[in-house]
């Protein structure tokens, strides 16, 4: 739902932009003697065209330069005809596209003043030696009042956080909010009296497409204000298995990033932040990942207002299975959500749900069989991964959930109240921050429904 809302917002933004361009063109060319009434008619005609062509709106939102691509226009003759009757509209859209092709030095000059160096320390009282852990990372200022975005594994659980601004000013920072699951944190610094903090503009990650420019500015290995560049390699790389992770994919990049880049901005050629660099595969070359900025923008208000993201806790995790396993093993399996692990102390454990015990691998995919199979949630049959997500989206903290399960061929109903999800050991609450970009869970392409609940 979140990604759908973001796409709709992006499309609406494009519509508003184009409408503005039409009005600009009308005002700028009086020699064409358009009357105000005629301009309103043109505007209404164009609005109706966009409303009846959602596929074209989506295409242009992703790549406005398509208005100058004859091969694309040939496939959409109605758009081609519209642009022929509005030649200034085409020109203005192409000008807008070209204005987002800033040179790399211009992008650096525009964004780097807002990129900060973060130095954090924490103490592990359970270690006999090397109790003090020191972490360096990156971040970027998003508000002149001193709000900074970075990664949770840089800032969460730290006793001391220091931020060095682009001009060398060193300031103490406070943690405003953090979400270890999606690895996002918000810091605050107090600007010096009389100074104004530079900020980075947040872009629209729904408009990112494969092959686009991907520029990173950060502090790799402590080398401050370092720029690297590459391309968007993919946009459908699933986050490590987390709550609702199927809905929030990483942006994959070949831009070189290293420990210390964590929390820094990923930037497009408009000089806008489209993601937060967060991970790389340690045994690969230039395969890195960034958190889409639209996800960050959606989580920012609750992180600032309440310091955390409130999530319901069902207390189990596993994956969706269909009839294929039943056909392979000729076992009494039914389609549904296979419960593989029940978390200790969770409401699911208290309600008596059972996890799996038999590990098998089928076509490279691992299963832990023997646990309950949930066939419906609050009356919604779990017949596909999409149905799993649909059922779980409606579950809120404080509500009661009713699960229909299959256990050893018998049908049962289990219900319990949903508490707020606590911070769990697997959430990565800063434990591996000394190597923040390496040795993290392997990412995999978007595929069948596995997740923690």
Q: How confident is the model at residue 452, as a pLDDT?
A: 55
Query: Is 153 annotated in the active site?
Result: yes
The active-site residue, picked from 11, 122, 152, 183, is: 183
Give, as one character, the DSSP assignment of residue 377.
Answer: E
Q: Give Cα 436 to chain centroid, integer Å.
A: 18
Q: Which of 11, 59, 112, 153 is catalytic?
A: 153
Instruction: For CATH 2.30.42.10, list the domain ranges present in the chain.
Output: 316-420
- Residue 20: HSE in the Cβ half-sphere, 13 Å Cα cutoff: 8
Instruction: Name the CATH superfamily for 316-420.
Output: PDZ domain (2.30.42.10)
406 a catalytic residue: no
Helix (H, G, I), strand (E, B) or coil at 244: coil
pLDDT number for residue 43 = 57
pLDDT at 447: 34
Provide the pLDDT for residue 12.
46
Which residues, other chains included, contact 189 with Cβ-Cβ below 8 Å and sequence gap of 6+? 146, 148, 163, 171, 172, 173, 174, 197
The CATH number assigned to the domain with range 101-310+430-448 reads: 2.40.10.120
Q: Where are the CATH 2.40.10.120 domain residues in the chain? A: 101-310+430-448
Choice among 262, 346, 376, 406 that is catalytic: 262
pLDDT given at position 433: 34
262 counts as catalytic: yes
- For residue 374 the two structure tokens come to 């949930």
Query: Which residues have a Cβ under 8 Å from the Cβ of 117 and sit 6 or more positions away?
Result: 136, 138, 163, 164, 219, 224
pLDDT of residue 175: 96
User: Rounded to whole angstroms, how far apart are CA atoms 381 and 338?
Assistant: 14
Q: Whole-model pTM? A: 0.73
CA atoms within 13 A on the CB side of 264: 41
Give pLDDT tens digits along the chain (453 positions). Answer: 434 434 444 444 454 455 444 444 444 444 444 444 555 555 566 677 778 888 888 787 767 777 777 778 888 888 888 888 877 777 767 666 666 778 899 999 999 999 999 999 988 888 878 888 889 999 999 999 999 999 999 999 899 999 999 999 999 999 999 999 889 999 999 999 888 899 999 999 988 989 999 999 999 998 999 999 999 999 877 755 444 444 568 999 999 999 899 999 999 999 999 999 988 877 778 889 999 999 999 999 999 999 999 989 999 988 888 877 766 665 667 888 999 999 999 999 999 999 998 888 877 778 888 899 999 999 999 988 888 888 888 899 999 999 999 988 889 999 999 999 988 876 754 433 333 333 333 343 333 344 556
At 138 the three-state DSSP class reads strand
End-to-end Cα spacing for the chain: 17
Token pair, residue 383, equals: 């017949």
């Amino acid at each position: 739902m979140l990604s759908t809302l973001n796409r709709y917002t992006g499309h609406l933004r494009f519509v508003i932009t184009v409408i503005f361009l039409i009005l600009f063109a009308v005002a700028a060319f009086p020699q064409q003697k358009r009357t105000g009434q005629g301009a309103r008619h043109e505007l209404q005609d164009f609005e109706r065209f966009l409303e009846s062509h959602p596929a074209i709106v989506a295409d242009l939102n992703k790549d406005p330069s398509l208005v100058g691509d004859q091969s694309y226009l040939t496939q959409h003759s109605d758009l081609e005809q519209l642009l022929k009757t509005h030649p200034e509209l085409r020109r203005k859209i192409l000008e807008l596209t070209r204005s987002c092709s800033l040179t790399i030095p211009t992008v650096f000059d525009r964004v780097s003043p807002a990129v900060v160096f973060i130095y954090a320390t924490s103490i592990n009282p359970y270690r006999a030696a090397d109790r003090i852990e020191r972490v360096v990372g990156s971040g970027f200022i998003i508000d002149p009042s001193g709000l900074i975005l970075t990664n949770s594994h840089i800032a969460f659980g730290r006793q001391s956080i220091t931020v060095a601004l682009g001009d060398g000013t060193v300031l103490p920072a406070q943690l405003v909010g953090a979400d270890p699951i999606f690895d996002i944190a918000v810091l605050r610094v107090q600007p010096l009296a009389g100074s104004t903090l530079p900020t980075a503009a947040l872009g629209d990650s729904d408009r990112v497409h494969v092959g686009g420019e991907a520029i990173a500015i950060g502090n790799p290995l402590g080398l401050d204000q370092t720029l690297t560049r590459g391309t968007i390699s993919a946009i459908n790389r699933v986050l490590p298995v987390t709550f609702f992770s199927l809905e929030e994919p990483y942006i994959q990049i070949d831009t070189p990033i290293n420990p210390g880049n964590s929390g820094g901005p990923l930037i497009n050629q408009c000089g806008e932040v489209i993601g937060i660099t967060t991970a790389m595969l340690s045994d690969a070359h230039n395969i890195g990942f960034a958190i889409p900025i639209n996800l960050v923008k959606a989580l920012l208000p609750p992180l600032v207002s309440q310091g955390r993201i409130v999530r319901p806790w069902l207390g189990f995790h596993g994956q969706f299975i269909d009839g294929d396993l039943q056909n392979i093993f000729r076992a009494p399996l039914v389609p549904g959500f296979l419960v593989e692990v029940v978390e200790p102390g969770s409401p699911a454990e208290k309600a008596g749900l059972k996890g799996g015990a038999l590990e098998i691998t089928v076509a490279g995919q691992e299963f832990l069989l023997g646990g309950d199979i949930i066939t419906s949630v609050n009356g919604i049959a779990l017949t596909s991964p999409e149905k799993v997500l649909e059922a779980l989206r409606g579950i809120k903290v404080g509500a009661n959930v009713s699960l229909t399960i299959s256990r050893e061929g018998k049908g049962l109903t289990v219900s319990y109240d949903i508490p707020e999800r606590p911070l769990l050991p697997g959430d990565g609450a800063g434990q591996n921050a000394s190597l923040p970009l390496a040795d993290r869970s392997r990412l995999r392409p978007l595929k069948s429904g596995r997740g923690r609940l």
